[in-house]
Structure 1
Amino acid sequence: MTDRDTRHKNAMQKLKQHVDDKVAAATEERGLLMVFTGNGKGKTTAAWGTVTRALGYGYRVGVVQFIKGLWECGERERLVEDLNLDVAIMATGFTWDTQNRESDTAACLEVWREAERMLADPEVYLVVLDELTYMLKFGYLDIATVTAALENRPSDQTVIITGRNAHRDLLAMADTITEMQEVRHAFNNGLKARRGIDF
């Protein structure tokens, strides 16, 4: 065995011990609050990936889509026939298109009632609140209402919240925070969003 092979083996043994120790220390079992935020692409896509994973194990999943409701969504189109998936959509589209705070707030509150129903249901294993952060930023929803629903959800239920500029109270509550960082985005260089890739 060469010196490099020996160093590699020793490094992998240390890494394995570190991982084994972390696994042994992780004894608490409950649902998580996860926040996918940041200005980079992929927050919703990551959430849909987790939806697919949960459905693959036969769990019930609820998805509430704020903001992008009228847009095509390849993941939603593919998974919508799964009987374990419940999707609620704020059917107004982008707020910069509607430009009507009153109607956007009403639409938000209507779909939020669906979110509250899902968050109160112990049979729903995973709830995705897609683009929820904007509802808080624009003042369509009150942060106290959202945090109360999250705090009172069933203990085994995991929630994923997506969107830029996540509220500090959500970040404080979260078990896992992933920040997507934009390094370069094709759209900013004049490339159109592609069906099946971007939506």
Structure 2
Amino acid sequence: MSVDPERHAMKMAKKKASRDKIMATKTDEKGLIIVHTGKGKGKSSAAFGMIFRCIAHDMKCAVVQFIKGGMSTGERDMILDKFSDTCSFYTMGEGFTWETQDRTRDTEMAQAAWEKAKELIRDESNKMVLLDEINIALRYDYLDINEVVQFLAEEKPHMTHVVLTGRNAKEDLIEIADLVTEMELIKHPFRSGVKAQIGVEF
């Protein structure tokens, strides 16, 4: 299909003027509450992308992993090996709940992870704190959603970003969040018998 270059340029100029007008009204800055949820893959991957962006800008940040346990992942290994001076990393869970099969222990570990998370969020030198898979801990009621929401609403420093990942985000969390992305599952290799692979899943 042929497009007239002059007509296209005029259309884009009009679009730019409209966009510039909208952008001129966006002047506020604040620390965001960001939720990545949904059945699709990529929730933690997207969150770690933001953590690496903070590291690239030499912004102090932190990660608390609520579920994944001692499993080696590329993100954790790289941060601990090369960026531990910029990014604090805490793996507090002992694995997925169906592996531990011990609700009392899982609850204790989730509570300990939440205490560490609160400590890191209160530290205003941390510009971003990632709470990886906290939504799973909330889903199974290892943590009190009301306490988490109240803390984020009342105690999170104004300029600190907090990212919360995991399926089945609670409605109360979605309600107070500034940015919510739901990863939609359309197709996944696991359903075709392909296991999790290095460089893609971990």
Alignment of 1:145-160 (within 5 A): 145-151=147-153, 152-160=155-163
Query: Which among 157, 170, 177 is matched to residue 174 of structure 1?
Result: 177
Look up the match of 1:108. 110
Look up the match of 1:4. 4
Identity of aligned residues (%): 39
Tell me the amino acid that sits aligned with residue 116 of structure 2.
Answer: E
Task: Flag as ranges the 4+ runs of structure 1 deviating above 2 A.
Answer: none
C-alpha contact 1:31 1:156 (8 A) present in aligned 2? yes
Residue 165 of structure 1 pairs with residue 200 of structure 2? no
TM-score w.r.t. length of structure 1:
0.95
Residue 198 of structure 1 pairs with residue 201 of structure 2? yes
Residue 14 of structure 1 pairs with residue 17 of structure 2? no
User: For each residue in 1:79-121, what CA deviation from the matched residue of structure 2 results, as whole angstroms up to 9, or x when unmatched?
Assistant: 2231011111123111111111101001111111110101111
TM-score w.r.t. length of structure 2:
0.93
C-alpha contact 2:93 2:110 (8 A) present in aligned 1? no
Q: How many aligned residue pairs are there?
A: 198
Query: Which among 87, 92, 101 is matched to residue 85 of structure 1?
Result: 87
Q: Which runs of 5+ in 2 are unaligned?
A: none
- C-alpha deviation, 1:178, in angstroms: 1.0
Alignment of 1:66-145 (within 5 A): 66-80=66-80, 81-82=82-83, 83-145=85-147
Tell me the amino acid that sits aligned with residue 73 of structure 1.
Answer: T
User: For each residue in 1:14-54, what CA deviation from the matched residue of structure 2 results, as whole angstroms up to 9, or x when unmatched?
Assistant: 32123212321111111111111111000100001000000
C-alpha contact 2:64 2:130 (8 A) present in aligned 1? yes
- C-alpha deviation, 1:10, in angstroms: 2.4
- 1:25 match: secondary structure: coil
- C-alpha deviation, 1:125, in angstroms: 0.2
Look up the match of 1:57. 57
C-alpha contact 1:67 1:131 (8 A) present in aligned 2? yes
